[in-house]
Amino acid sequence: MKSPRKKALTMQQWKEPFERITQVKRVLLGFRSLLDQELQPLGITAAQLRLLRAVQDAPGISGAKLADICSVTPQTGQQLMMKLESNGWITREKNPANERVLLARLTKKGEKMLQHARAIAEVAHHKLWQRIDPAKLAVFDEVLAISCENLKGLELVGE
């Protein structure tokens, strides 16, 4: 017995999932642009702020682990870390177990920068989510978390 043929998707059905991803990307890029603009007077970018937060959360973290957490390439992570170090926001020391690995820690100057930048980021977050009911945001957070879980374990190019 032949299996029933699947009905071809309509153009609208085919387009909807791609439009959803496009909207998520627009939000991400728009927010990053807003945050970079708001942080510019401090002399820090959203990407640098993300790295500072990761170093604060995991003192003594390696550059490779930082790049992974921040979803950047190791090369980009290295460039960002060099900038953070040259600004005096982090220090990097050789790992006693493997001298080729440098471990990052926040400096007092980095802690102050992070405090100021986080306050600015909170205002930017408020601008983004201000007209959205907190219950809807909670559902959105859940959907995003499930989506991320769905992607884990898939063999994706570039990971």
100 located within any domain: yes
32 located within any domain: no
80 located within any domain: yes
Query: Which domain covers residue 77, as residue numbers?
Result: 43-145
Half-sphere exposure of 105 (CA within 13 A, CB side): 9
Q: Both tokens of residue 38? A: 């708001």
Secondary structure (3-state) at 107: coil
Task: Give how many domains the chain has, as a whole number.
Answer: 1
106 located within any domain: yes
Per-residue pLDDT tens digits for 18-29: 888 999 999 999
62 located within any domain: yes
d(CA 110, CA 98): 25
Residue 109: which CATH number?
Answer: 1.10.10.10
Rg (CA), the chain: 20
10 located within any domain: no
- Residues 116 and 40 sit within 8 Å (Cβ to Cβ): no
Q: Rounded mean pLDDT of 6-17?
A: 69
Per-residue pLDDT tens digits for 45-84: 999 999 999 999 999 888 888 888 888 898 998 899 999 9
